[in-house]
Amino acid sequence: MAAEPPPRRYADRESVDAVVIGAGGGGAPILMKLAQAGLSVVCLEAGRSWTPAQDFASDEAEQEKLFWKDERLAAGADPIAFGRNNSGIGVGGSTLHWTAYAVRPQPDDLRLRSEFGVGRDWPIPYAELEPYLDEVERMLGVSGPSPYPWGPPRQAYPRTPLPLNGAAEVMQAGAATLGLRTSPAPNAAPSSDYTYAGLHRPACTSRGFCQAGCSIGAKGSADVTFIPLALRAGAEVRERAFVTGFERSRDGRISAVLYTDSKGREQRQRCGVVFLCAGGVESPRQLLMAGLANSSGQVGRNFMAHTALQVWAEVDALVKPSRGIPGGLISEDTHRPKDAGFAGGYLVQSIGVMPMTYASQIARGVGLWGEALTSHMRRFNHVIGINICGECLPHPDNRLTLSDELDVRGLPKPKVSFSNGDNEIAMTAHGERLMASVLEAGGAYALKRTPRNAHTLGACRMGADGDDAVVDADCRSFDIDNLYVCDNSVYPSALSVNPCVTQMALSLRTADRFLAGR
Amino acid sequence: MRDGRTRAFEPVPILEARTRALLSSEALTAPTRAALQARLDRRFEPGKLLSSAQRRTLQAACLRLIPEPELVARIDLAGAFEAELAEGSGRGWRYAEALSDVALHRAGLDALDAVTQAQHSSAFADLDSERQDAILRAACAGEAPMDVAPEHWFEELLTAVTEIYYAHPLVQVAIGYDGMADAHGMQAVSLAEVAAQADSLGR
């Protein structure tokens, strides 16, 4: 690889054009676009940067360093597990422990209210996101089948599908028996060496540790894609910079971002515009702590988390379930099931799993302990799993608030109250029946269910109406015209797919809209 | 178990020799070797968070939650749990209504012992395993007489010790997991390939 120029450093007292808060799937694409447009831009990232080949072990416990560990409080009928499930820290953000699942939404996902009369439509038509989805897939080197069986016609994936593991093969066989169509899933790890914009990434080796960090730099996480291109274009990424507040000028606009630096000193970065991309929990938390951008009263409300029930089973064959890309096989035949009785739909995916995570879920989620747990774990190499990822309707009482408890930084802990509604419960029951049928038809047995909801969506939602939403279709605050929010918190509906590539596309669009308006 | 093929465990000294040989082999990358070697070699001193009575109760509970006594003793599961509690690294969340971790576990262990004293006039650690299991079943279900334990205590204890246990290289090798053997590049993935490579670690 050619030597990169030394990274840009802006002086503390210098005012920059833009500050981006968070170096993950929301912030990194914006950072890149703004720097490439010639703006002076600083990214404040709470975590550190990593050198995967030196720092990443094929070991789950060691890799817990990729998870956001400041304590969050989970409430409601279906408390959300944070930590390893839902939030990352470090340059790359949650994309560091992303499964690499790279499924696009379908156009009707963005029109849920028009189609079903519930939830919200996105204020952006699919056609406007599509070119950005194309760009993201090219940049990440997504491996997938061409043609792809579901959704509108689309560009070919840059790489052919990754190999299917045991869980995918069993799901494929079971689904075929039932007449459910399946396909190798699109995943953001190239199946052969890949170069984009001078960034070279090796082929995925099927190690299966996507959720613990890719040690070879194959996975298209933000740290090996958007971030190096942003640095090359002159952006600065300031590590271990934890944002604590905002300074405002007399006209109410933001004039500086306050943060604690890597040595614990209070710092202040003056700027022309702020892009808050701290993730589905930290972005609404920042706004609530600062008392900003909430004339709608919607900050923190409508927190959504995909229906994501997992069903596990055993097979006689040797599987080695951690191997291969975790989400190897997909079906979107359940995108709008005919016998649904609920709004929206879901996808079904095969899943790989690492041993500590699996044991933990079987203990916490199934309640196995003693001989039942240990004898089952001796069968670990024969375990397969599948899960759903489905729509979740917004509800104002599913809500992030600030608790009275302070965390290690002396800031109020966020409290997230979440309960599945009738729609989520009906969808999960539908998915559970289908997954059980698929597994049994595939010859698997001893089914175990681990209920869960996944992803952190919606608590700063975008919309056309400033009384009903926090940001507009350009992800700009209705209240403060130099404040943008762009991460999973702005999703007005959950979509029936995993959120990451849509987020990256939305961030590219947000940057373009901002640049066009300058 | 449909086919009855559970893995029988070998004696711990033999397992440990096999694990050390694997970890020092060229099958592991340096970061993976460093992480697992450190865990394998780590020893724990009694901490200050728990009283000696609480620690004794914890040790007995660990043996029923994970009834593989030789490995649980070698790993010092209770010691590792107490050390983790003291480090306070946490998991990034807790149930909003639950006590903070240290208070939760102290109260839960006290409840376990108090219930045992009331029912059997014995410390939990001195009870036979059948009766210990009966009390733990009540704790798992949140039912009497263990409904006096704080909410979510059993779930958090079980989850924490399960994670510590199955993150340990000795246990991982014992259950036939070979994901730590990560230095060979491309790995076998399909059922046919995995079967063909069944005994070559990390290939």
CATH number of A416's domain: 3.50.50.60
Mean per-residue pLDDT for B147-151?
Answer: 96
> How many whole angstroms separate alpha carbon A247 and alpha carbon A266?
13
Report the share of chain A in percent with pLDDT over 90.
96
Q: Do A82 and B96 touch (CB under 8 A)?
A: no
Chain A environment of B1 (Cβ under 8 Å): 375, 379, 446
pLDDT given for residue A5 in this prediction: 64
Q: Chain A neighbours among B 133-192 (CB < 8 Å)? A: 133, 136, 140, 155, 158-159, 162-163, 165-167, 172, 175-180, 182, 185-191
Burial of B109 (0-12, 13-18, 19+ CB in 10 A): buried
Closest CA to A175 of A344, A428, A348, A351: A348
> How many whole angstroms separate alpha carbon A19 and alpha carbon A256?
9
CA dihedral A225→A499→A407→A470, nearest 10 degrees, is 110
In a domain, residue A378? The reply is yes
Has residue A1 got a pLDDT over 50? no
Lowest mean pLDDT among A116-130, A180-194, A439-453, B7-21: B7-21
Q: Do A379 and B6 touch (CB under 8 A)?
A: yes
Segments in A307-354 forming alpha helices (H) = none
Q: Chain A neighbours among B 19-78 (CB < 8 Å)? A: 28-32, 34-36, 39, 64-68
For tokens 């924490």, name the residue.
Answer: B160
- Render pLDDT for A339-366 as a digit per residue (tens, 0 to 9): 999 999 999 999 999 999 999 999 999 9
Comparing alpha-carbon positions, the chain B residue that sits nearest to A191 is B186
pLDDT given for residue B6 in this prediction: 52
Which residue among B31, B64, B194 places its CB closest to the CB of A166?
B194
Has residue A77 got a pLDDT over 50? yes
Mean per-residue pLDDT for A183-209?
Answer: 97
Average pLDDT taken over every residue of chain B: 94
Q: Do A370 and B64 touch (CB under 8 A)?
A: yes
Average pLDDT taken over every residue of chain A: 97
- Render pLDDT for B172-195 as a digit per residue (tens, 0 to 9): 999 999 999 999 899 999 999 999
In a domain, residue A362? The reply is yes
Q: Does B97 touch chain A (CB under 8 A)?
A: yes
Cβ neighbours around A394 below 10 Å, total: 23
Has residue B4 got a pLDDT over 60? no
Q: Do A68 and B175 touch (CB under 8 A)?
A: no
Mean per-residue pLDDT for A87-103?
Answer: 97
Instruction: Tally C-beta pairs within 8 A across A and B.
Output: 193
Comparing alpha-carbon positions, the chain B residue that sits nearest to A353 is B179
Q: Do A57 and B29 touch (CB under 8 A)?
A: yes
Q: CA of B122, closest CA in chain A: separation in Å? A: 22
Q: Do B2 and A319 touch (CB under 8 A)?
A: no
> How many whole angstroms separate alpha carbon A134 and alpha carbon A196?
13
Chain A environment of B143 (Cβ under 8 Å): none
Mean per-residue pLDDT for B122-151?
Answer: 97
Q: CA of B201, closest CA in chain A: separation in Å? A: 11
Closest CA to A318 of B192, B166, B6, B186: B192
- The three-state secondary structure class of B147 is helix
Q: CA of A73, closest CA in chain B: separation in Å? A: 5
Closest CA to A434 of A394, A376, A390, A392: A390
> How many whole angstroms separate alpha carbon B137 and alpha carbon A376?
18
Q: Which phi and psi angles does A269 have, rounded to 5°?
A: -115, 110
Beta-carbon contacts of residue B143 (< 8 Å; ≥ 6 apart) = none
Chain B environment of A88 (Cβ under 8 Å): none
DSSP bridge partners of B115: none
Is the backbone peptide bond immediately before A499 cis, with ω within 30 degrees of 0?
Answer: no
- Number of domains chain A is built from: 1
Mean per-residue pLDDT for A85-112?
Answer: 96
CA atoms in the 13 A half-sphere facing the CB of B78:
23
Separation in Å, CA A162 to CA A54, A332, A350, A500:
25, 18, 13, 19
Which residue among A64, A68, A415 places its CB closest to the CB of B96?
A415
Q: Do A317 and B195 touch (CB under 8 A)?
A: yes
Which residue among A69, A370, A378 places its CB closest to the CB of B90?
A69
Comparing alpha-carbon positions, the chain A residue that sits nearest to B129 is A370
Which residue among B1, B3, B140 places its CB closest to the CB of A369?
B140
For tokens 């279900």, name the residue.
Answer: B141
Q: CA of B52, closest CA in chain A: separation in Å? A: 24
Is the backbone peptide bond immediately before B145 cis, with ω within 30 degrees of 0?
Answer: yes
Chain A environment of B29 (Cβ under 8 Å): 53, 57-58, 215
Which residue among A209, A354, A380 places its CB closest to the CB of B175?
A380
What are the structure tokens assigned to A282, written together? Answer: 């930290």
Mean per-residue pLDDT for B101-117?
Answer: 97
Asked if residue A258 lies in contact with residue A245, where contact means CB atoms within 8 angstroms, the answer is yes
Query: How much is the CA Rg of chain B, to the nearest whole Å?
Result: 19
Q: Do A215 and B68 touch (CB under 8 A)?
A: no
* Confidence bin at A408 (pLDDT 50/70/90): confident
Q: Do B175 and A164 touch (CB under 8 A)?
A: no
In a domain, residue A366? The reply is yes
Mean per-residue pLDDT for A41-45?
Answer: 98
Q: Which residues of A54-80 are buried (b: 16+ CB within 10 A; e: fewer)?
A: ebbbbbbbbbbbbbbbbbbbbbbebbb
Which residue among B64, B68, B195 places its CB closest to the CB of A318?
B195
Q: Do B187 and A206 touch (CB under 8 A)?
A: yes
- Render pLDDT for B28-56 as a digit per residue (tens, 0 to 9): 999 999 999 999 999 999 889 999 999 99
Q: Do B31 and A62 touch (CB under 8 A)?
A: yes
* Confidence bin at A4 (pLDDT 50/70/90): low
Going by the DSSP 8-state scheme, the letter that residue A93 receives in this structure is G
In a domain, residue A150? The reply is yes
In a domain, residue A76? The reply is no
Chain B environment of A316 (Cβ under 8 Å): 2-3
Q: Please say whether the dihedral angle defined by the alpha carbons of residues B202, A223, A359 and B112, taken in this order, is positive or negative.
A: positive
Residue A508 belongs to domain spanning? 16-54+86-516
Mean per-residue pLDDT for A236-242?
Answer: 97
What residue ranges do the domains of chain B occupy?
A: 12-196
* Confidence bin at A3 (pLDDT 50/70/90): low
- Region of A22 on the Ramachandran plot (φ > 0 left; ψ -120 to 50 alpha; else beta): left
Q: Do A354 and B179 touch (CB under 8 A)?
A: yes
Tell me whether strands A412-417 and A72-75 are parallel, antiparallel or unpaired.
Answer: parallel
pLDDT given for residue B7 in this prediction: 55
pLDDT given for residue B200 in this prediction: 80
Q: CA of B121, closest CA in chain A: separation in Å? A: 24
> How many whole angstroms separate alpha carbon A192 and alpha carbon B88?
42
Has residue A12 got a pLDDT over 90? no
> How many whole angstroms separate alpha carbon B58 and alpha carbon A181?
50
* Confidence bin at A168 (pLDDT 50/70/90): very high
Strand order in the sheet with A399-406: A399-406, A412-417, A72-75, B93-95
In a domain, residue A4? The reply is no
